[in-house]
Structure 1
């Protein structure tokens, strides 16, 4: 299925106040797909679909093929998705994620900021997907103040998503998710924060809440955050 809104290689975009509804059992129904975007603000939306509001932060090349961001094609063009703000969203996605990064991310994904989001009956709040052959990177992803109701995974990451547009991908094109991978990089490493009433007990890097702890969310503002949205009536 195609996404409800799909945009390719734009910048300085505001998407606000949308309600997008789809049957929850419809396959792969995306809410909004910003591809190779820069300086984009998506806010105050209510979306119900199988891939509920999956910010499929792809990085496609400028061709007519929707799959051109995969593997060597996206690497060749190298247009990243970067500087995105998602806030005040309500999402329902029983079989997928509120925000999905990838898996077509061969131009790179960086500086994504999500806050004040409610996810209801959703499999994952944030999902990062990539694979051998993709290359590029996923870095500087910030999330805060998310309310999760009936979740299976809070953060879900995979490096073997496995789909390719053709068999000619480079097996040496390994995506970079963390700059300094450690032995247990797919377990509880390179994370910080606190937990409360979590069963079974979280790892030592995510201790039980004892007092208010600051979040390493960026203090600076993206340029798109200071753009005013004006509605013209005719």
Structure 2
């Protein structure tokens, strides 16, 4: 009975997403954090056609987009300017945004990435990574990019930003990439950002990557890529503060949402944490994790709330991951009200995940993982309940599992696997590890119900 109820809830969430163009609309009374950055009506509107743009799917519009953004920046109109992209397929190379602008995609509008990778701009590696995420050296600039911006809105009528990523995926598979692949959208050192009512399709690498940003809202978006597309994470807030991701549908080839904060010695030196992150009402599927933290956590990750998640056909439902050499911290994390269906492993908290940028990392830089609460999780067709494996010299502490009910699909149930961890477990089925079953003196967990 419980399994049929969960299945019905998941199917309803997916159906609502499809009826609403892939995204969600918060029901009346639902909490929302869209007020972090209020939507603005711009004082001026221009069209990409005013700058010679042609939406026939063949004409290259890079010069039109670059010229339009430069004009908006120079114009500096009171209240900012909206750049309107009408219905059509607007083929273009990578381009930058500017402050006080709205990029508006009308219904039927597709901004499509050129397949000519030879002219793709190269930029420096992120300072908190020290090198490209995939390869040493620089990296390709994201398809739509921005640095040191303020007051930027990307929205519309569910128009599409298409990265045409299959060319990049094949280069990755053939191992003939020269530099790290481009994200679909990356904003750096920027504030007051809204991304809403847009479809992100076939990103070459990560889809939406706010890094060193603050006050960012991502809501009512759809993110799609094949399940075999490599490293096409949905939304990756990275060393960013005050970020809200809500009411969206994500189906990609990697983690749906992954919170990050830098890589080993570079992330520790840059010391920009991710904090004040809210994730709610997300539905989606992918071969890796539904909701993830890490594994790049060297700048620290704290004060995260993820709730009302519907995750199906996924490798791991909830994945919190770090490693020796990472340093940093993961603390004050709450994940609540999660529905899992057809998931290989319900929960994994790991101290041995992820690789290193080079051989200069300090093996004695051990992360601190403390005060993680996972509660109100229901799962059907879950193969394994999960594992919590800390680090011997830095055990994970105050781990609370509360009201977790997993219907294990395997004929012979695989038990929880735990080591170097302390905390509590209340109303967990299958029963959690013995080192989590005692809650004496652990008010942090007894208050989680």
TM range (shorter): 0.7 to 0.9
Q: CA RMSD in A?
A: 2.7
Once residues 132 and 52 of structure 1 are traced to their aligned partners in structure 2, the CA distance between those partners, rounded to angstroms, is 22
2:346 is paired with a residue of what secondary structure? strand
> Aligned equivalents of 1:109 and 1:44: distance in 2?
23
The 2-side partners of 1:130 and 1:37 are apart by: 18
The verdict on how the C-alpha distance between 1:190 and 1:34 changes in structure 2, with shifts beyond 3 A counting, is closer
Question: Distance between the aligned counterparts of 2:306 and 2:300, measured in 1?
Answer: 18
Following the alignment from structure 2 to structure 1, what is the Cα–Cα distance between the partners of residues 406 and 225? 33
Structure 2 unmatched ranges of 5 or more: 1-203, 372-386, 391-395, 417-423, 430-444
Q: Does 1:216 align with 2:418?
A: no
The question of 1:37 aligning with 2:230 is answered no
Residue 178 of structure 1 aligns to a residue whose secondary structure is: strand
Report what 1:223 is aligned to: none
Does residue 316 of structure 2 align to residue 124 of structure 1?
A: yes
Matched, 1:205 2:437: no
Q: 1:60-110, CA deviations, whole angstroms, 9 ceiling, x for partnerless residues?
A: xxxxxxxxx2111111111100111000111101x2001111111100011
Number of the residue aligned with 1:168:
360
What is aligned with 1:58?
260
Q: 1:153 deviation in Å?
A: 1.5
Distance 1:171 1:118, change over 3 A: same
Residue 266 (structure 2) aligned to one of 39, 51, 73: 73
When you count strand as a share of all residues, which structure comes out higher? Answer: 2
SS at match of 1:191: strand
Partners of 1:110 and 1:138 within 8 A in 2: yes
- Pair 1:38–1:123, CA change in 2 (3 A): same
- Residue 198 of structure 1 and its aligned partner are, at CA, apart by 4.2
**Offset, 1:152:** 1.5
- Report the Cα offset of residue 32 of structure 1: 1.0
Alignment partner, residue 19 of structure 1: 222
Aligned counterpart in structure 2 of residue 110 of structure 1, from 302, 320, 336: 302
List runs of 5+ in structure 1 lacking aligned partners: 60-68, 218-234
Please give the alpha-carbon distance, in whole angstroms, between the structure 2 residues aligned to 1:153 and 1:43: 24
- 1:195, distance to aligned residue in structure 2 (A): 3.7
Matched, 1:194 2:403: yes
**Alignment partners' CA distance in 2, 1:136 and 1:150:** 33
1:85 and 1:174 map into 2 onto residues whose CA distance is 26
Q: Is the 8 A contact 1:195 1:202 kept in 2?
A: no
Local SS of the residue matching 1:165: coil
- Measured at CA, do residues 25 and 17 of structure 1 come closer, stay the same or move farther in structure 2, by a change above 3 Å? same
Higher RCO (CA 8 Å, separation ≥ 6 residues): 1
Distance 1:177 1:92, change over 3 A: same
TM-score by length of 1: 0.76
- Corresponding residue for 2:327? 135
Pick the structure with greater CA Rg.
2
After superposition, the Cα gap between the structure-2 partners of 1:214 and 1:202, relative to the gap in structure 1 and judged at 3 Å, is: farther
Counterpart of 1:149 in 2: which secondary structure? strand
Relative to the length of structure 2, the TM-score reads 0.41
2-structure distance, mates of 1:197, 1:175: 29
